[in-house]
């Protein structure tokens, strides 16, 4: 960056001499007959005009995509009960949204619910199995005692029948005396959603909590170019004015609304990122172009809404140039046509104010 300062006698754009200011303009800004501006040094400092020296370079062709912040499937979890019952709060109460929890932390306790009819049916089945088990055990004992008179196959069958009935009885007795289910956090993170209340009746599979690790978020973008996934060299996104670097994870093999989903991993998640937040993704491809890289804020529009860059051609003279450009990343553009050849000093801050000088 270059700051305007007094006593500067630069020759820019091939050494062209500065055009003298209009007669009577003195130290006031003035529009010159050729469309350029005369801007005295004090005014440049007042308007905080900043410039940078740029020249054509070989750059990566960039494509802009619409994206949205999503969770990493390995860093997010949903907490659901395995059975129906009544929710009870753990010691300290239910965690609220925004609370940080550690892996294994108790989020809620589920008291199993069973109707009197269900309990009666289970008790009848238990009594029936006990009776069958008693008969099976006596049969197995009798056949074992006369093992020499009956086949070994009959003895084994009787023992197996007894073992099966015993296992069924134990399982049914265990279901009758179900213990409260403790719902724990499967990973460390932030509570994103909490759909719980004290005494609430929850069914098996209800989504009670959602936990997200905010340090491991991802971005999903859609492209209508199926071949783009093979040409990606890098990517970035702009989140609340902050440039965030992305790492390409992979592309889906199934179209969604005629577009191909691309997944990127956020290398360093800023605090301002939220799941579901829309973002602009700049994808740098392996294809190269020739252009002049400049901050996106350098580009302004004239009265005809055509894109213009202001070039500082001497210490107090600025010339507008209509250019053709394309985004390079979320905060940088590449000027393809319209600038003088070679090294040029382009206004990067305060360009919009220059267009207001008459």
- Categorize the per-residue pLDDT at 352 as very low, low, confident or very high, splitting at 50, 70 and 90: confident
pLDDT of residue 176: 58
Nearest C-alpha neighbor of 350 from the set 2, 6, 15: 2
Contact 217, 69 (CB under 8 A): yes
Beta bridge partners of 293: 334
pLDDT of residue 309: 92
- Categorize the per-residue pLDDT at 3 as very low, low, confident or very high, splitting at 50, 70 and 90: very low
The runs of H, that is alpha helices, within the chain are 41-46, 116-145, 152-176, 351-354
Query: What would the two tokens of residue 5 be?
Result: 């300062």
Average pLDDT of 199-215? 93
In whole angstroms, what is the distance from residue 341 CA to residue 312 CA? 14
pLDDT of residue 35: 85
pLDDT of 293 above 60: yes
In whole angstroms, what is the distance from residue 123 CA to residue 108 CA? 29
Nearest C-alpha neighbor of 61 from the set 268, 291, 354, 357: 291
In whole angstroms, what is the distance from residue 72 CA to residue 264 CA? 10
- Categorize the per-residue pLDDT at 159 as very low, low, confident or very high, splitting at 50, 70 and 90: confident
299-342 confidence digits (pLDDT tens):
998 878 889 999 999 998 999 999 999 888 777 889 999 898 88
pLDDT of residue 4: 42
pLDDT of 15 above 80: no
- Categorize the per-residue pLDDT at 117 as very low, low, confident or very high, splitting at 50, 70 and 90: low
Average pLDDT of 7-18? 41
Give just the sign of the alpha carbon dihedral 296, 302, 308, 310: negative
Q: In a 10 Å sphere around its CB, with 0-12 CB exposed, 13-18 middle and 19+ buried, how is residue 304 labelled?
A: exposed
Q: Which of 19-28, 177-186, 192-201, 205-214 has the lowest mean pLDDT?
A: 19-28
- Categorize the per-residue pLDDT at 296 as very low, low, confident or very high, splitting at 50, 70 and 90: confident
241-273 confidence digits (pLDDT tens):
788 899 999 999 898 889 999 999 998 876 678
Q: In the sheet that 76-79 helps form, which strands lie side by side, from edge to edge?
A: 76-79, 209-212, 189-194, 100-101
Query: What's the pTM value of the predicted model, to 2 decimals?
Result: 0.63
161-193 confidence digits (pLDDT tens):
888 888 887 777 666 556 788 999 999 999 999
Length of the chain: 358
Q: Which percentage of the chain shows pLDDT scores above 90?
A: 38
SS3 147: coil
Contact 306, 322 (CB under 8 A): yes
In whole angstroms, what is the distance from residue 81 CA to residue 120 CA? 24
């Amino acid at each position: 960056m270059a700051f305007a300062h007094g006593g500067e006698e630069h020759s820019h754009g091939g050494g062209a001499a500065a055009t003298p200011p209009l007669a009577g303009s003195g130290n006031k800004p003035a529009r010159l007959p050729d469309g350029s501006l005369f801007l005295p040094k004090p005014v440049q400092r007042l308007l905080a005009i900043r410039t940078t020296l740029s020249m054509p370079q070989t750059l990566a062709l960039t494509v802009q995509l619409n994206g949205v912040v999503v969770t990493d499937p390995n860093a997010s979890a949903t907490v659901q009960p395995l059975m129906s019952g009544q929710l009870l709060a753990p010691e300290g109460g239910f965690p609220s949204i925004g609370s940080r929890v550690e892996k294994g932390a108790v989020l809620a306790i589920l008291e199993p619910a069973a109707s009197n009819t269900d309990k009666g049916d289970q008790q009848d089945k238990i009594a029936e199995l006990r009776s069958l088990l008693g008969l099976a055990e006596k049969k197995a004992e009798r056949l074992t005692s006369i093992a020499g008179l009956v086949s070994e196959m009959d003895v084994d069958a009787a023992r197996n029948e007894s073992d099966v009935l015993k296992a069924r009885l134990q399982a049914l007795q265990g279901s009758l005396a179900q213990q409260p289910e403790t719902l724990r956090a499967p990973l460390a993170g932030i509570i994103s959603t909490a759909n719980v209340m004290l005494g609430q009746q929850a069914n098996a599979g209800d989504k009670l909590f959602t936990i997200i690790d905010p340090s491991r978020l991802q971005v999903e973008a859609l492209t209508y170019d199926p071949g783009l996934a093979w040409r990606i060299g890098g990517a970035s996104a702009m989140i609340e004015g902050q440039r965030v670097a992305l790492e390409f994870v992979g592309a889906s093999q199934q179209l969604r609304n005629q577009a191909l989903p691309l997944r990127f991993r956020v290398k360093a998640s800023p605090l301002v990122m939220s799941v579901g937040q829309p973002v602009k993704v700049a994808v740098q491809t392996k294809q190269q172009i020739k252009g002049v890289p400049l901050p996106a804020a350098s580009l302004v529009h004239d009265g005809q809404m055509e894109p213009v860059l202001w070039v500082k051609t001497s210490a107090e003279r600025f010339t507008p140039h209509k250019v053709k450009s394309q985004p390079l990343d979320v905060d940088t553009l590449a000027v393809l046509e319209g600038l003088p050849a070679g090294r040029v000093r382009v206004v990067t801050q305060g360009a919009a104010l220059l267009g207001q000088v008459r």
